[in-house]
Amino acid sequence: MIKHKIDVYTLIKSEIHKLRNVGIETANLDCRLLLTKSLKLNKTLHNHQNVNISDNEFKNFKNFIRERLSGKPVSRIINKKNFWDNEFELNEDTLDPRPDSETLIDAVLCHFKSKTQILKILDLGSGTGCLGLSLLKEYPYSEASFLDISKKSLEIVKINSLNFGFSDRSKFVNLDWRDENWVANLIKIENKTKFDVIISNPPYIPTEDIKNLQKEVKEYDPFIALNGGEDGLQAYQLIIPKLKNIMNKNGKIFFEIGKGQENCITKLAAVYGLFPQEYRKDLSGVIRVITFIIK
């Protein structure tokens, strides 16, 4: 197999222009990530680097570019996404981790300032595990249970926890919060141990709004991870009534929410004895996370 030595920018320059011409603002980064994937390298390439590339590897790179031009997200082509300074593997059953969700990590760090404390964490609807595993990185003496309806999703959490060295502090729970008995089953699995931190980024997009989302979202994120029902609040209506049964007295709940949902979710939570301690905005100024406590 003959390989040719060439600098990265020369190799990707024409492909950058193709992506920019269809409005992809991250064209340079996308090309470097896809070239890295083509060469099966572990670290993302930079423009100034020289690489050795075969004709077959270049062909693979061009195929990846075609997928990107069709609207497929880079994360779905390489099956990886960065979140909170870690690279998470993903699959077709997991939501693509978003920067907005890092707001939730910030909120937990604000409310639990000591990194040495021992916390029992529950990640409800864990997806890739990006939220719970990021907290295990921040709190090295803590443990997390990852609950998800999808067995394929939990397999990805297992892989990510193993990659980060957190598998000994992780538990994987295949339950569906639409099941009336999900909390009773969880209590059995946890041997009646309650949680100090409950985190969740549940589906919160109203069903009819999904068709208006960006192509990268509506066609490549799993529908079940987006669909919040008719008003976008279905998951909260199923989860919130049960939470006091699994929370420690001084525990806190951190919910990611959709734009403009804070009032409805706060009113719902109050009915079940949960009250807001903080509303936290994302980088766009949208209230993205509510912190609840028991009163």
Q: Which residues contact 274 (CB under 8 A, 6 or more apart)?
A: 240, 243, 244, 253, 292, 293, 294, 295
The tens digit of pLDDT for each residue in 233-283 reads: 999 999 999 999 999 999 999 999 999 999 999 999 999 999 999 999 998
Quote the DSSP letter at residue 119. Answer: -
**Percentage of residues in the chain with pLDDT exceeding 70?**
100
Contact 194, 120 (CB under 8 A): yes
Evaluate if residue 90 carries a pLDDT over 70.
Answer: yes
Q: What is the pLDDT of residue 42?
A: 85
Cβ of 252: how many Cβ atoms within 10 Å?
22
Torsion angle in degrees (nearest 10) through CA of 17, 20, 21, 24: 150
Q: What is the pLDDT of residue 85?
A: 87
Beta strands 86-89 and 120-124 are unpaired
The tens digit of pLDDT for each residue in 120-169 reads: 999 999 999 999 999 999 999 999 999 999 999 999 999 999 999 999 99
